[in-house]
Structure 1
Amino acid sequence: MDALIVFALALLWDLLLGEPPVLAHPVVWFGKLAGLIDFRYKRRSPALDFLAGTVTGLLVVAFAFLLSILPFFVPYPLNYLLAVYFLKSSFAVRSLHEHVARTITGDVEEKRKAVSMIVSRDVSKLDEPHLNSAAIESLAENLNDSVVAPLFYFILFGLPGALVYRAINTLDAMLGYRNERYEYFGKFSARLDDVLNFIPARLTVLLYLPLGGRNVFRYYRLAKFKINSDKPIAVMSAVLGVWLEKPGVYRFPGRAPRDKDIKRALRVYWIVVAEWVVILSLLLATEVCPCLSP
């Protein structure tokens, strides 16, 4: 039952307090370590860049693993406090809601500014429906990356699984771009993130079934643009009945998304989160995963 206690306290922390201070956040540490190497390494050739990027990824993963096992080497009750702190750092329920909720505004420029904080695409020329779409897409994709996936790996491998996943997902967000600088340097991180998200992305799709029924599967079959990231976006589009589009990459059918649809998406988000929390709690309470026992 210890894993259930750690999970319950981490979730309570998230809902009541949100994210830890920036300088004390493990995800920020992962990013600083990767960014330091990225900044200092001068690109040379595809093979050397790939090797350097692989070493960077492995160093960050090793750092995350070492952090995750610290609770096993400290006395009670510090071991519990560290475990709760690190597990909380691996997922983000409240902050994801808060970031997306800021995009609900009638002022297009304020909306543009808020959307630019949660997506990597250039939003400077997006019209209001595409800004709304970007906000909903970010919510749907990060529901997998920031909630379902880290806790999926917590179930499988305990705290090391959750924190290592978070490190790899951070690496992908920083280095996993198809451009001249990161095409080879970020390839290891991007492909590893693809592998780790393959099952969670499809599990996230299943969590939408009570809300969208067979329409979920119909939209899922339309999601052929990306390995993982477009799957949760497609089924959010199915449930809301709005089009979601990243110009030049994908588009799922429906009517134009409006402010009220972002509000609806947030309600859907909380329902899916609640489903996932119930499933996790039952699995942990019945000790289906003995690897989590101390």
Structure 2
Amino acid sequence: MEPAAIFLLALLWDFLLGEPPARLHPVVWFGSIAGLLDRRWKRKGPVPDFLAGTFTTLIVVAFALALSLIPFYLPFPLNYTLAVYFLKSSFAVRSLYEHVARTVTESIEEKRKAVSMIVSRDVRNLDEAHLNSAAIESLAENLNDSVVAPLFYFLLFGLPGALVYRAVNTLDAMLGYRNERYEFFGKFSARLDDLLNFVPARLTVLLYLPFGGGKVLRHYRLARFKINSDKPISAMSAVLGVWLEKPGLYRFPGRTPRNDDIKRALEFYLIVVGEWVAIVLVLLMLGAIPCLSP
């Protein structure tokens, strides 16, 4: 199968149609499998919980890998159709834009509701500036998780790379919490997600360099709070010139973020996505994928 054609058709699907129905979305399938195993496992202590969580991760990853190999055994045009569908399911350009765009409102309650849909933090007591910050942070972080990283692994390993990355990232979002229930059960998936995002998170920062240069690098040096997720956030803070803060965890310097800054963040998002799409397309056309078949 021609990878550049698959990529362009998946991108066209994303722009025109957005996300597939939830019941048919591979990410929902990954979450359903993980949720089932999570509910069935009664917590028994650090070591058993860690092993059970590792087993859960491996099961979901194996399922994602099996899904990704199906197109290679189908005749034309079913092989292309399913490959395009699965690749589209691994990234989300349009839906991320739309979710963040809904936070641009003068109504504090509407903003609070929209922000609560895209972040895991408690937004009930956040003021308008911190709600604006949370929306921009989510956009910056998910630019990596939902666009740059899955296509990075598509470049390296083809469709299996993209779907396996998406499976691991989904598991981290579900299980990667530092609380009593998931401290050990979610540890393996969280560390695996850290490993897979190490290069893409820094690559995302590089994509901002044409717009912020030295300021992006200065902000990047301040990003010492998380292994990966604060790196793209630091770059977005730099190019916008606004402070971005998760209270008690990190704060990047700048002026107070406003509604208009969310709009500007969305503009930078589209520009950076355009950069990355162009790079991916060129590399695909040059035959940069070493593994596209079983």
Is TM > 0.5 for Structure 1 vs Structure 2? yes
Q: What do the CA deviations read for 1:38-87 (whole angstroms, capped 9, x no partner)?
A: 11111011000000000000000000000000001111100000000000
8 Å CA contact 1:3, 1:293 repeated in 2: no
1: distance between equivalents of 2:126 and 2:62? 40
1:196 is aligned to 196
Tell me by how many angstroms 1:291 deviates: 2.5
User: In the alignment, is residue 31 of structure 1 matched against residue 9 of structure 2?
Assistant: no
Q: What do the CA deviations read for 1:197-220 (whole angstroms, capped 9, x no partner)?
A: 000000000000011111110000
1:263 is aligned to 263
Alignment RMSD (CA, Å)? 0.9
Q: What do the CA deviations read for 1:228-253 (whole angstroms, capped 9, x no partner)?
A: 00000001000000000000000000
Tell me by how many angstroms 1:293 deviates: 6.7
2: distance between equivalents of 1:90 and 1:291? 17
Identity in percent = 77
| Letter of the structure 1 residue corresponding to residue 249 of structure 2 | V
8 Å CA contact 2:154, 2:162 repeated in 1: yes
User: In the alignment, is residue 147 of structure 1 matched against residue 118 of structure 2?
Assistant: no
2:185 is aligned to 185
User: In the alignment, is residue 278 of structure 1 matched against residue 278 of structure 2?
Assistant: yes
Give secondary structure in 2 for the equivalent of 1:215: helix
| Letter of the structure 2 residue corresponding to residue 142 of structure 1 | N
Number of matched pairs:
294
2:213 is aligned to 213
User: In the alignment, is residue 14 of structure 1 matched against residue 14 of structure 2?
Assistant: yes
TM-score, normalised relative to structure 2: 0.99
Give secondary structure in 1 for the equivalent of 2:251: strand
8 Å CA contact 2:100, 2:139 repeated in 1: yes
1:124 is aligned to 124
Tell me by how many angstroms 1:287 deviates: 1.0
2:168 is aligned to 168
Q: What do the CA deviations read for 1:138-161 (whole angstroms, capped 9, x no partner)?
A: 000000000000000000000000
8 Å CA contact 1:31, 1:171 repeated in 2: yes
Structure 2: which 5+ residue stretches go unaligned?
none
1:253 is aligned to 253
TM-score, normalised relative to structure 1: 0.99
**Runs of 4+ off more than 6 Å:** none
Give secondary structure in 2 for the equivalent of 1:287: coil
